[in-house]
Amino acid sequence: MPAMSDAEPHLLVVDDDARLLDLLRRYLTDNGFRVTTAADAAEAHANLLSFAFDLIVLDVMMPGESGLDLTRRLRSGGRPRVPILLLTAMAEPEERVNGLEQGADDYLAKPFEPRELVLRIRNILERRGAAADNAARRDVRFGSFRFDLARGELFRGGDLVHLTAAEAGLLAILAAHPGDPVSREDLSQAAQFSGNIRNVDVQMTRLRRKIEPDPRFPRYLQTVRGTGYALKSE
């Protein structure tokens, strides 16, 4: 198996078939990708709040929220436009067209050759320039601070700023989508605060004390009225 590196494109693979999900994870990892998996749309959504992905491989036919529904939600939610490759057992032309109309970048019918999946992924990434963008997305800068998304570390100038696990978790979620508001509920779920959204406010207050020139008037960790919080980056 090739060694992992920060330059490897990060894929989110979503499928309710546990056996196929494991096979894809191992095959894609062996072919030079960093892979995170999810068994349904809810788990995929939580991962999208926590990490920045280069591409999503998404099964269409899933219980609950389908792949098409999730594609539609991602494309209408104002998030950064991550490429989506849909997988489906239905190969009818209207199904493919429907997927593309919802905002998918490509469509692959099951069963498929794993090599074809890899080629399609690489083609999408090349078209998007994802390899070139990956390094730029690794660091998120605001003011004199730099947050390393890959390591979950915050620096002020060249000095490491000590963060608790909870503080680093919140900052990672916000830094993965700079400028986008994230609800308290989503932050609580992704940071695993035991369902208590008040913990989000407590941790945010502590985090602001380490970052903001005046925590009473936050410049970077901004409150979005009626929603939650957003990180204002450069």
Tens of pLDDT, residue by residue, the chain (234 residues) = 333 344 689 999 999 999 999 999 999 999 999 999 999 999 998 898 888 899 999 999 898 888 988 988 888 755 557 899 999 876 566 666 777 777 888 889 888 999 999 999 999 888 876 444 555 557 889 999 999 887 788 999 888 999 887 888 889 889 888 888 988 888 877 666 655 678 888 889 999 999 999 999 999 999 998 889 999 986
Cis peptide bond upstream of 111, omega within 30: yes
AA letter at 210: K
Query: Among the CATH numbers 1.10.1740.10, 3.60.9.10, 1.10.1200.10, 1.10.10.10, which is that of 138-231?
Result: 1.10.10.10
Its CATH architecture, for the domain 10-128, is 3-Layer(aba) Sandwich (3.40)
Q: Write down the pTM of the prediction.
A: 0.56
Characterize the bridge pairing of strands 106-109 and 139-142: unpaired
